[in-house]
Amino acid sequence: MSAALDIIVLTGMSGSGKSVALNALEDAGYYCVDNLPPELLTQLLTLERQRASEDEGRTRRLAVAVDARSAKSLPYLLPVLDNLRTEGTVVRPLFLDASNEALLRRFSETRRPHPLASLRDASADTAAMPLDDDSAQALLDTIELERELLEPLRERSAIIDTTLLRPAQLRMWVRHTVQALPSRLTLVFQSFAYKNGVPLDADFVFDSRMLPNPHYIKELKPLTGRDQPVIDYLREQPEAGELIAQIEAFLLRWLPALENDQRSYVTVAIGCTGGQHRSVYCVEQLTQRFAGRNVVLARHREQDGR
């Protein structure tokens, strides 16, 4: 029996919550290694295969965090991942992202320097200080440099946008993501509020704001799209059924092509004004419709964990 490994490679923007995510993976039973140089990943997996064999075929769960602290080694990571896939080893990359504004705010609040600050003279002495206009611009330039370095990894990964997520919410989303079967495409339906911005991790975005809004009905206003009175109300609206059917038809047409393109995750974001009623309802209905066809996750950015 071949040794079984479940491998998560965690990457993402500095300040996006990788420490929180790594703790969540550790709680989920993964052996976690932080800031591993990519050159050592193959050796680590060789050791883990030996341990898996000694464990009589039990699956060993391994999570490895690689980020900008290994900036000079990042170009080695994608070839290593390609080689592992050629060998038949399943590796699941997970990328945490956040808006520039959120990252600027987090670095300002923590007063810690950006890991790439030493690569930019302008930010090296100011990143850990209160941000004036000049130091904020220097930090923003450094963040953009990091985005450029990590973009090839982002394109190959499942993405979680942490811009508006609380730590408890991020931990929950990470657990749900890694519980999905790695051998099948995972379809993520996510509701959001347009007033808080479109999620960075969305592959497709649909707008439900043209549907009748339960917010303006007194009895429905405090409820969400998961509550039966709201469900009953929106089911009676022909536009809601038509929108859901059109999104379903679009995905049924193109999901096979995405699977053939070796995609592991596809995120479909559906927005309404407040992320409470219409978008939540649409996500729940689509999750039910696709549950028998794909591995499906439902996320509600403005509602989860509240």
Lowest mean pLDDT among 47-56, 80-89, 93-102, 205-214: 47-56
The answer on whether 67 is annotated among ligand-binding residues is yes
The answer on whether 245 is annotated among ligand-binding residues is no
The answer on whether 68 is annotated among ligand-binding residues is yes
pLDDT at 123 over 50: no
pLDDT at 133 over 80: no
Higher pLDDT, 25 or 86: 25
Q: Which long-range contacts (CB under 8 A, 24 or more apart) does 233-242 make?
A: 234/277, 234/278, 234/281, 237/211, 237/212, 239/210, 239/211, 239/212, 240/208, 240/211, 240/212, 240/278, 240/281, 240/282
Q: Residue 108: how many CA atoms within 13 Å on its side-chain side?
A: 16
* Exposure string over 257-290, b if 16+ CB within 10 A, otherwise e: ebeeeeebbbbbbbbbebbbbbbbbbbbbbbebb
The answer on whether 15 is annotated among ligand-binding residues is yes
- In percent, the amount of the chain with pLDDT more than 90 equals 55
Q: What is the mean pLDDT of the chain?
A: 88
Nearest to 279 by CA among 189, 164, 216, 160: 189
User: At 120, is the pLDDT very low, low, confident or very high (cuts 50, 70, 90)?
Assistant: low
The answer on whether 18 is annotated among ligand-binding residues is yes
The answer on whether 210 is annotated among ligand-binding residues is no
Cβ atoms 286, 189 nearer than 8 A:
yes
Of the segments 175-179, 184-188, 234-238, which one has the largest average pLDDT value? 234-238
Higher pLDDT, 83 or 129: 83
Sequence-distant (6+) residues with CB within 8 A of 48 are 3, 5, 31, 60, 62
User: At 60, is the pLDDT very low, low, confident or very high (cuts 50, 70, 90)?
Assistant: confident
Average pLDDT over residues 232-248: 98
Lowest mean pLDDT among 1-5, 39-43, 99-103: 1-5
The answer on whether 191 is annotated among ligand-binding residues is no
The answer on whether 14 is annotated among ligand-binding residues is yes
Strands 91-97 and 5-12: parallel
User: At 167, is the pLDDT very low, low, confident or very high (cuts 50, 70, 90)?
Assistant: very high
Confirm or reject CATH 3.40.50.300 for domain 5-115+136-179, answering yes or no. yes
Average pLDDT over residues 223-237: 98
pLDDT value for 122: 44
The answer on whether 279 is annotated among ligand-binding residues is no
Higher pLDDT, 1 or 74: 74
The full set of domain ranges for the chain reads 5-115+136-179, 186-305
Higher pLDDT, 224 or 111: 224
CA atoms of 274 and 280, how far apart (whole Å): 10
Q: How far is CA 21 from the centre of its chain?
A: 10
Average pLDDT over residues 173-202: 89
DSSP string, 127-183: TTS---HHHHHHHHHHHHHHHHHHHHHHHTSEEEE-TT--HHHHHHHHHHHHHS-TT
Q: Is 10 helix (H, G, I), strand (E, B) or coil?
A: strand
Q: Work out the angle between the directed axes of helices 77-86 and 133-155 (0-180°, nearest 10).
A: 20
Average pLDDT over residues 156-183: 88
CA atoms of 110 and 50, how far apart (whole Å): 41
Q: Work out the angle between the directed axes of helices 228-235 and 278-290 (0-180°, nearest 10).
A: 80
